[in-house]
Structure 1
């Protein structure tokens, strides 16, 4: 499989250089390969000169897009996607760095099914310096600041289930700083909507349209893009988001799109009324009600998977899921069932939790009644 890594960039020369250094250390299976496409959205900081110094390889393409009043991340990403020659597009932002297994993890999930959107984790690094020379030679965690904040979407998954595909708001949780989808699906729906200007929701709109087109969604905690700095939402960004939400709501005329306004309760820099994770919890509950999946009493069939029972569980999963609501507790170190569970379509509920603590396990079993064997 050939992977096209598409990166929009605007005056992010030093950050983009670190990303390109770390992408160069990517390790893929022999039958796989990757290219990088950078869409420079009118940078004036020497981004083009920096990329030219690193180029000279067929696997790095640089596009310069003159800055206009219609410039946007959506337009930059579309330009990069148009140049992609791979069958799989992996989207990352210029202010991230990635480990050697990053691309391989995206590819691994896409081998499970063809109609899939993979969302990777994006934790935030804290303050500190990068050892650029060392990162040029190798990827090393001690060559960059430590992780200061985890990806809040993982808390949402821990609340409802690690099965992203069963979340009613899975499309809203697509952050294009770390996501992948086969290029055929992006082109079929027309890519990003370039009417989204300023900050916010162009990737959410893409996620919604991919979901409406029938694609499945999966979250990979192992396909990690580390955000080089934590940026708060300022008043201008929030105003952009509100304007883009109004556009998206009018565009789709769908109640699940309109109730994204719940997120605004957490995002307003003038004083969010609730936290972001709590806003997502409310959004998910409301979206499930709209989807005809209100919280009703169900009885689940429990599957506890250990290292030595993975193969048996894999063999039984589809048959059990066809006839029962399943609650899976995966005790394997590598979350062996995370990908297969998220890539499986079942008529009922399919809940998945990876190595919950004893306290958390008791909470799960208290919330979801389990049928007697």
Structure 2
């Protein structure tokens, strides 16, 4: 992993606007990445901030580099290419972006989603509540179909996107439990890095992403676990939502990768609550995923975690 060091930053937070670094790993996602970048050109700034966008090309062969070279110059856009190798993956790509970042706040996105004009503003405003937050934004699922990139280049409008067909599954979990994300014993499991933000110094303090997590799944939950253990508080906001392009079902190969990463997670953190994530297997396995709803599993997961800590467990301080 590349060295994660704190770059010198003159002045104090009170003397200058926040600086945001948006990290986007990309692998053969030229078309969807372009839509993502176009949406980032329309960001509003009710709260003063500046931002940079860092694209880490994880060995693409689809012309991503040429697309970036020809992208309209309306972003502080930085691009780096890493040769594909057995070590490639989202964790490594995000660490490469983190080593390049100059922002106070790091926002992570995926290359297959677009954001509304107030997306970054909502993240920045959330962090004004304190220096120790992990801000988790919502994810809205789009139907099949293409984004009208010509229209999106001019302005953000929902009419240029496919229809939203599903909200964020985590909202249903919170409603079922009658609590907020910050109140959950298992909150660390849910900071999906398609849409989270955290202070760069807090991310560096825990060592960034664990690059031994390759393939699909759980590198974000493992980071969330370490951040929470380090004292970071969780905050969920629907205001900073992303629009996720049509997602295909989990494949058998992805499920095998998830199982491998879960075993690694359990070995690294021999905490009984970490092992409880095995409960999700039937809801993720493509051979059995119709047998149990993911939301029902998430609710059982939280109840089981609370049972481990006892009825007198302290709730997080808001």
Q: TM-score with structure 2 length normalisation?
A: 0.91
Matched, 1:9 2:26: yes
d(CA) in 1 for partners of 2:240 and 2:179? 15
225 and 74 in structure 1: CA distance in 2 versus 1, 3 angstrom threshold: same
SS in 1 for 2:60: coil
- Which residue number corresponds to residue 142 of structure 1? 159
- Which residue number corresponds to residue 75 of structure 1? 92
* Displacement after TM superposition at 1:30 (Å): 6.1
* Alpha carbons 2:41, 2:74 under 8 Å: kept: no
d(CA) in 2 for partners of 1:218 and 1:293? 23
For residues 293-328 of structure 1, give each alpha carbon's deviation from its aligned partner in whole angstroms, at most 9, with x where no partner exists: 379xxxxxxxxxxxxxxxxxxxxxxxxxxxxx9xxx
Query: 4+ residue stretches of structure 1 with deviation over 4 A?
Result: 55-58
Pick from 254, 279, 282: which aligns with 1:237? Answer: 254
SS in 2 for 1:203: helix
- Which residue number corresponds to residue 208 of structure 1? 225
* Alpha carbons 2:47, 2:124 under 8 Å: kept: no
* Alpha carbons 1:91, 1:178 under 8 Å: kept: yes
d(CA) in 2 for partners of 1:57 and 1:152? 34
- Which residue number corresponds to residue 40 of structure 2? 23
SS in 1 for 2:83: coil
SS in 1 for 2:240: coil
d(CA) in 1 for partners of 2:129 and 2:50? 18
CA RMSD, Structure 1 to Structure 2 (Å) = 1.7
Pick from 271, 287, 291: which aligns with 2:305? Answer: 287
Q: Which moved more, 1:11-20 or 1:106-115?
A: 106-115
d(CA) in 2 for partners of 1:162 and 1:100? 29
- Which residue number corresponds to residue 294 of structure 2? 276
SS in 2 for 1:221: strand
Q: Which moved more, 1:214-223 or 1:123-132?
A: 123-132
SS in 2 for 1:39: strand
d(CA) in 2 for partners of 1:128 and 1:8? 23
Larger radius of gyration between Structure 1 and Structure 2: 1
* Displacement after TM superposition at 1:164 (Å): 1.1
For residues 97-152 of structure 1, give each alpha carbon's deviation from its aligned partner in whole angstroms, at most 9, with x where no partner exists: 00000011111110011100011001110022321111001000001111011110
d(CA) in 2 for partners of 1:260 and 1:294? 23
* Displacement after TM superposition at 1:161 (Å): 3.2
The count of residues paired between Structure 1 and Structure 2 equals 300
SS in 2 for 1:222: strand
Relative contact order (C-alpha < 8 Å, sep 6+): which is higher? 2
* Displacement after TM superposition at 1:207 (Å): 0.4
For residues 29-83 of structure 1, give each alpha carbon's deviation from its aligned partner in whole angstroms, at most 9, with x where no partner exists: 3631111000000000000110111165671100101100111110000000111
For residues 194-246 of structure 1, give each alpha carbon's deviation from its aligned partner in whole angstroms, at most 9, with x where no partner exists: 00011100001000000110110011011011101122101000000001000
- Which residue number corresponds to residue 99 of structure 1? 116
194 and 55 in structure 1: CA distance in 2 versus 1, 3 angstrom threshold: farther
Mapping of residues 96-245 of structure 1, within 5 Å: 96-245=113-262
d(CA) in 2 for partners of 1:161 and 1:103? 28
d(CA) in 1 for partners of 2:264 and 2:146? 40
* Alpha carbons 1:285, 1:294 under 8 Å: kept: no
Pick from 342, 345, 350: which aligns with 2:317? Answer: 345
Mapping of residues 308-327 of structure 1, within 5 Å: none
* Alpha carbons 1:288, 1:294 under 8 Å: kept: no
